[in-house]
A and B are shown apart, each in its own frame.
Chain A
Amino acid sequence: DQQVKQNSPSLSVQEGRISILNCDYTNSMFDYFLWYKKYPAEGPTFLISISSIKDKNEDGRFTVFLNKSAKHLSLHIVPSQPGDSAVYFCAASWAGSYQLTFGKGTKLSVIP
């Protein structure tokens, strides 16, 4: 049973436009969410996170939105750049747990 779901395996976006990556979760205990970015032959790199006490967190071109009632979060990248092309993983955890539960990832392709 997948507790963190990324239902879109891939996404293509034109350079300069907005990229929206989505993530759903089923475990109500999750209260902290992270996005990781992964290039080929490299390990995942932490990108941005959000606590369940917030509904939005922004860092430069990256914004994560959390909708607790819908158990849904999204990552917005504006404007998208070719260097953003990578696989993006959504991950979740809860207070007292050091375990991250990852989704399967979404491959983002930003077309110049």
Chain B
Amino acid sequence: EAGVVQSPRYKIIEKKQPVAFWCNPISGHNTLYWYRQNLGQGPELLIRYENEEAVDDSQLPKDRFSAERLKGVDSTLKIQPAELGDSAVYLCASSFSGVSTYEQYFGPGTRLTVT
């Protein structure tokens, strides 16, 4: 079974530029999460989707970050414009609600460097 797929794996941009990350969750997983992991820290939740609906986006910086999950499968996270402090690893995770809802399966992440 394929795991969570993310692209790109690495991205280097200049500040004030836009950037987008893509995630394809595990087939059948209806819950999708975007996390940000700063250096030396654990992952921190940005947004959670149940199917197409963003049910928890309280920690998403909405002035510059946006996300969508069309058709309840793939998801895109966008930053516009990027700031130096946005340099981090952006992780996507998925889970199937109703069984072991606590166990989330992570993708390899996108390492973003803003210069």
Contact = CB atoms under 8 A, between A and B. Distances in A.
Contacts of B93: 43
Interface stretch (A11-19, A59-67, A71-79, A98-106): A98-106
Interface string B85-115: 0000001010101001111111111000000
B45 A91 contact: no
B61 interface: no
Given A34-B102, A99-B45, A99-B48, A104 B40 contact: yes
B4 A98 contact: no
25 contacts: A4-B42, A9-B40, A32-B102, A34-B102, A34-B103, A42-B108, A43-B4, A43-B91, A43-B106, A43-B107, A43-B108, A43-B109, A44-B91, A45-B106, A46-B103, A49-B100, A49-B102, A89-B42, A98-B56, A98-B97, A98-B102, A100-B43, A100-B45, A102-B42, A102-B44
A104 B37 CA distance: 10
Kindly name the residue among B9, B33, B42 whose own CB sees the greatest number of chain A CB atoms within 10 A. Answer: B42
Given A98-B33, A103-B42, 5 more contacts: A43-B4, A44-B106, A98-B56, A100-B104, A102-B44
B99 to A, nearest CB: 13
Contacts of A41: 9, 108
Nearest to A43: B106
Contacts of B105: 46
Contacts of B4: 43
B24 to A, nearest CB: 13
Interface in B26-45: 31, 33, 40-45
A104 B41 contact: yes
A9 B41 CA distance: 10
